[in-house]
Structure 1
Amino acid sequence: MIGLGIIGAGIMGERLVRAALEQAADSVRIVGIWDPAPAAMARMAQEFPAIARAASPEALTAAADCVYVASPPASHLEHAGRTVAAGKALFCEKPLAVDVAAARAFVAGAAGKRAAVNFPFASSFAVQRLREWIDQGVIGTPRSLVIEVAFAAWPRSWQRDAAGWLDGRAQGGFTREVVSHFLFLSRRALGALALHAHTASFPEAGRSERAITATLSAGGLPATLTGGVGTTGKDDHNTWTLTGDKGAIRLRDWSIAERLVDGAWQPDPEALPNERMRPLVLKRQLAGVAAMTRGEPHHLATLEEAFEVQSVVEAILAP
């Protein structure tokens, strides 16, 4: 049983608290939470009265075996650095950071430390099924990858309370928040990422991107990426499609693994929509957090993987 402290009482912090209490009470316990906003702390006190509210991030770090950093991205390295310096395990929300040079220095300094980044595709049942299909030769030799993300609006409906930073150029936007997941999946499944060309559209002053395109490679495999706001009626629609010389497979809408059969996409019979699958995936993630904190082998995203993803994301968004 490891003691997990949480920095950040927003959507992700609250989501992980619920997962720990409802799904992973056998592997982690929440020792406290801290957020600089009094309103956020008051909300957590009302929702989870049994969880301690730490007086400071330093106090939270001292009380925890592992610290989950779920604050906005620009503050990640400050909290991550404190955690690692204190000798505690680190579980950081993605993206790792927004400053590439600072992240590079942090990753170098944290080499050999107990640290991981929260890319849930590392624990995804759907991704596991895709891996099985690849290993079984369903698609033959992989030839190309296509990543597509689309949103009715940005931020998504359930994120609008955090629009102040989620829709800003400094640390927000769907490329950091969503595309980074699919870049991690590409890195983990296929190999090292390389960006070859990119565009990003910022039509509204001070606000985050509204469209991107990129050509890249993953493990040498050619890939294309497109993303846009206002291009679907859905809150969030995405596909990750891998095509080989014998067939194609894809991940759709976060949690649906599908195979192309006779020209039609057929979902895995065990697939579940994301809202039902998410708690099961988070339970796996928290089991990984417990193993990482104990110094045992784990499957979570490494700092090196997260930095590679961050570097590509920031390059896509660069002028």
Structure 2
Amino acid sequence: MGERLLRAALDHHGAPLRLSGVWDPSPEAATRLSAIAPTLPMLESAKAVIAGCDCLYVAAPPAAHLPLAGAALAAGRSVLLEKPLSHDTEAARAFVARAEAEGARAGVNFPMASSPAVAQLRAWMEAGAVGAPDSLSIEVAFAIWPRPWQHDAASWLSRRAEGGFTREVVSHFLFLTRRLLGPLTLESARATYPGEDRSETAVEARLTAGGIPVTLRGDVGTTDRDDTNAWTLRGPAGAIRLRDWSIAEREGPEGWATAPDAIPNERMRPMVLRGQMDKVIAMTRGEPHTLATLREALEVQEIVEAVLAAG
């Protein structure tokens, strides 16, 4: 994700955004970053990046998120954090309470905050395509975990302490649910682990969002695709869904109809990340924005960690 957001920032022409420096403790990752942005200063530490920036972006394993964000906020910087907010719920609660009390400029990188497909879902809901929602289902599946493009981070993504698909993928759909439907409450959950300290291979949960029943299911090894997912909202007037990250669809008499402007996620991702960059600029200036808030990210984290603890 650090590489993806770096590319998005480099492509963000015509806006008051300038990259001031980058640091990565991995020599291999640092080499890749240098290849993407040869003129970008490769600094000697995270402290040096914080000292030279207006806004710090943190793409790291979850245990590093809050210490780095705290250092940046203490230095008067704004912060964009990768999700999850943390793997430690108590630490996250304390961090969010302190940041809110201090009026910190901070957000979490849930890209669905800038997704045209999500905007289409919202428009359909406002137009009455669903009516008063009465159920939501969230389904995710993977051929293997971590996914092939994440192999360089497998040392922690495949481990129970900080990794797993519930933190990395399900959290996106819980954020979407929270933003469109309301506060989340977990009712029951089950997580399956393969043994030792490996991350989960399956989860099931029942929860509510704004009082609406939600079912969640995730599995590894149940599809031959790297990654497949569906967020499906139903009501008395009909159903809508977000499929495979970027495809908005509406159910009709002849089945599911895709939104006319829908495009695959590979093509939509750069557009979404440019939208995130616009919001980061606004946040850093102290202007209104719609990035995921720390409070939203904390709510998502609380549900995620409770599901994972049900193993």
TM class, shorter-chain normalised? over 0.9
1:113 aligns with 2:104: yes
Counterpart of 1:215?
206
Deviation at 1:263, TM superposition (A): 4.6
Q: In 1, Cα distance between the equivalents of 2:297 and 2:60?
A: 16
Give the secondary structure class of the aligned counterpart of 1:28. Answer: coil
Amino acid at match of 2:22: I
1:51 aligns with 2:37: no
Counterpart of 2:62?
73
Does the 8 Å CA contact 2:7/2:36 hold for their aligned counterparts? Answer: no
Q: In 2, Cα distance between the equivalents of 1:47 and 1:60?
A: 18
Give the secondary structure class of the aligned counterpart of 2:250. Answer: strand
Counterpart of 1:152?
143
Amino acid at match of 2:275: R
Amino acid at match of 1:143: D
Give the secondary structure class of the aligned counterpart of 2:146. Answer: coil
Counterpart of 1:173?
164
Amino acid at match of 2:223: T
Q: In 2, Cα distance between the equivalents of 1:180 and 1:27?
A: 31
Q: In 1, Cα distance between the equivalents of 2:5 and 2:244?
A: 21
Give the secondary structure class of the aligned counterpart of 2:218. Answer: strand
1:260 aligns with 2:277: no
Deviation at 1:101, TM superposition (A): 0.3
Amino acid at match of 2:27: P
- The counterpart of 2:93, out of the listed 90, 104, 127, is 104
Equivalences for residues 1-319 of structure 1 within 5 A = 12-24=1-13, 26-111=15-100, 112-319=103-310
Counterpart of 1:9?
none
Give the secondary structure class of the aligned counterpart of 1:200. Answer: strand
Deviation at 1:233, TM superposition (A): 1.1
Does the 8 Å CA contact 1:24/1:287 hold for their aligned counterparts? Answer: no
Over residues 245-290 of structure 1, what are the superposed CA-to-partner deviations in whole Å (9 max), with x where a residue is unaligned? 1100000000000000115111001000000000000010000000
Q: In 2, Cα distance between the equivalents of 1:282 and 1:166?
A: 22
Unaligned runs of at least 5 residues, structure 1: 1-11
| Residues 185 and 124 of structure 1: CA distance in aligned 2, closer, same or farther (over 3 Å) | same
TM score, norm. by length of structure 2: 0.97
Identity of aligned residues (%): 59
Deviation at 1:49, TM superposition (A): 1.2
Judging by fraction of residues, say which structure has more strand: 1
Does the 8 Å CA contact 2:207/2:215 hold for their aligned counterparts? Answer: yes
Select between 36-45 and 261-270 the one with higher mean Cα deviation.
Answer: 36-45
Over residues 139-173 of structure 1, what are the superposed CA-to-partner deviations in whole Å (9 max), with x where a residue is unaligned? 11111000000001101111112110000000000
Amino acid at match of 2:41: A
Over residues 163-213 of structure 1, what are the superposed CA-to-partner deviations in whole Å (9 max), with x where a residue is unaligned? 100000000000000000000000000000000000000023221000000
Q: In 1, Cα distance between the equivalents of 2:238 and 2:17?
A: 42
Over residues 281-312 of structure 1, what are the superposed CA-to-partner deviations in whole Å (9 max), with x where a residue is unaligned? 00100000000000000010000000000010
| Residues 131 and 48 of structure 1: CA distance in aligned 2, closer, same or farther (over 3 Å) | same
Does the 8 Å CA contact 2:279/2:291 hold for their aligned counterparts? Answer: yes
Q: Runs ≥4 in structure 1, deviation > 3 angstroms? A: none
| Residues 119 and 90 of structure 1: CA distance in aligned 2, closer, same or farther (over 3 Å) | same
TM score, norm. by length of structure 1: 0.95
Amino acid at match of 1:45: S
Deviation at 1:54, TM superposition (A): 1.2
Deviation at 1:36, TM superposition (A): 1.4
Q: In 2, Cα distance between the equivalents of 1:240 and 1:122?
A: 15
Q: In 2, Cα distance between the equivalents of 1:230 and 1:43?
A: 30
Unaligned runs of at least 5 residues, structure 2: none
Does the 8 Å CA contact 1:27/1:286 hold for their aligned counterparts? Answer: no
Q: How many residues align?
A: 308
Q: In 2, Cα distance between the equivalents of 1:148 and 1:43?
A: 33
Does the 8 Å CA contact 2:133/2:235 hold for their aligned counterparts? Answer: yes
